[in-house]
Structures are given as structure tokens and as C-alpha cells.
Amino acid sequence: MHGAGNDFVLIDARKQDLEMDRAMAERLGDRHRGIGCDQILILRQASEPGCVLRYEIWNSDGSPAAQCGNGARCVGLYIHLNGDVAEDHFSVESPVGVITMLRCEDGEYELGMGIPEFDPGRVPIALEPREGSYHLDSPWGKLELGAVSIGVPHALFVCDDIDDENLPAMGGFVRAHPAFPEGVNAGFAQLRSRNRIHLRVIERGAGETLACGSGACAAVAILHRAGRVDDTVTVVLPGGQLVIKWRGNDETLYMKGPAKHVFRGIMNE
């Protein structure tokens, strides 16, 4: 499955015995010797009342992940394809808590992604903000960034050229920087208007992906807090578009975007 090009292997383990580990996640995620994906989604029986199911997220490098907006939409699509619910509005358990989902009339899914957390200890980031932003020394000079947690840590840099060939190297430098004790997803945004931005994200467990749902949410949250975008923003990523809605403060942030089924198969492990 994929959401705006961010691709997933989804395994329904509700009726089969499956213990995922780092080695298996790496094998499945390998694009040459496995199936190939950015992340792996494992479906389990729900433990919270009122939820259809719960799911785990594993990165293609074998590390577990806590949040993935594009993956969550694919879980929503699978639930309907599998006939688990007939309703358009339902809830699932993610690694960071319960997520509400809505299947929209156009076939896309809208998710409640929680409340963005800007406190440095919650991101986490081992730097002190100055006038609402952080600064890092780098081989490219001093970098100014915003930081937020959307269930996972994100750093955002505003750039003049979204096609700058240095962005992947800069993202790799930032995502492993000691200022981020848990690593970080590095996003680069070019503002086109107050309700439209272009975004690239270098993820901490998968490298650069065609889309990053939580990264789009993080970008809008940081820019909105700085007064640079409106409450509804279209985020253009290499693989497609997402619509992010946030009114600020302690309001829930919402993400809307596509989810696609690609193929179903069996892999002998």
C-alpha cells in the first residue's frame, strides 16, 4: 500500500502468530532481496474498547516507529477493504495512542493527529530556543530550525529552493545530530503562499521518502505557530499532496490525504 508514494508492507497478524523483530523488518523492507518499503505495518487485536484494531510500525532499517500519518491512512483503507467496519468514522490504536479516522466522500482519509508538542523536553531537543527557533552549526553554516513532536520528533528548515541538491546531505547530518537524543525527521519547506507549501522530509529510519504525513503536520504546526501560514494548508510532497488543518494552541491537528492498495501476496519467511 502507499500514501502519496510513502509505501508500506501491511501484515494482518490478528489471526496469525507473528513476532516482528529488527532482522525480519530489514528483510521485508529490502527493495532488492525482500518486498521493499519505507515502513512495515503490523495489525493486532485491539486492546482499547471501541477501537477496530491496533497497529505497530517498523522502519525499513529495522527500528520501531511511533507515528506515521501516511501509514495510518493505509490502515484505514485496509479496514474498509477487509470489511472490518461499514461506518466512515472509526478509531484505531496507534503506538502513540488512539487515532480517529474519517473516510471522506472523495475516498481519502482524514485523521486526528493529536496536539503538537513544542516543549524542548517533549520533542526532545537538547537546545534552548531563541525567539522561537533553534540554531545548529553545520558544514553549510548556521542552520535555523523549528522543532516539534507529532508523536515523533521533527525538525523543520525553511529553504528558498526545494530542489537544492544539498538537502539530503543536510537532512542526514541533522537527523543524527547529538542535539536530538532520539534522532529526528528533518523537513525542508519552501513557502509558496499562506496556504500552500512544498516539502521534502529525510526520515530518521527510512531516509528520504516520497511523502511523510507526520512531517507535513509538523511543518504546518511550526509555520502556523510562527504566523507564516493559515489554518488550512496544502502540503505538496514529491509523491502527492496532503491537506493539514490546525487552528493552533491546544487544538487537535488534522491531516487529509490519499491511501492506495497496490498488491496482495504471500512471502515465505
CATH number at residue 85: 3.10.310.10
- 157 and 207: one domain? yes
pLDDT of residue 205: 87
**What is d(CA 57, CA 59) in angstroms, rounded to the nearest whole number?**
7
- 146 and 240: one domain? yes
Please answer whether residues 181 and 126 qualify as being in contact, where contact means their C-beta atoms are separated by less than 8 angstroms. yes
CA 202 → CA 36, 163, 173, 241, 267, distances in Å?
A: 18, 13, 10, 17, 29
What total of structural domains would you count in the chain? 2
- 18 and 90: one domain? yes
- 96 and 145: one domain? no
pTM of the model: 0.94
Please answer whether residues 243 and 256 qualify as being in contact, where contact means their C-beta atoms are separated by less than 8 angstroms. yes
pLDDT of residue 218: 98
- 153 and 77: one domain? no
37 is catalytic: no
Catalytic one among 68, 74, 159, 217?
A: 68
* Strand 240-245 with 254-257, pairing: antiparallel
Catalytic one among 37, 74, 159, 212?
A: 212
Which residues of the chain carry a pLDDT beneath 70? 269
- 107 and 13: one domain? yes
Domain that holds residue 91: 2-112
* Domain-terminating residue out of 112, 143, 173: 112
pLDDT digits (tens, 9 = 90+) for 149-174: 999 999 999 999 999 999 999 999 99
Q: Is residue 62 part of a domain?
A: yes
pLDDT of residue 131: 86
74 is catalytic: no
Q: Is residue 124 part of a domain?
A: no
- 100 and 152: one domain? no
pLDDT of residue 97: 93
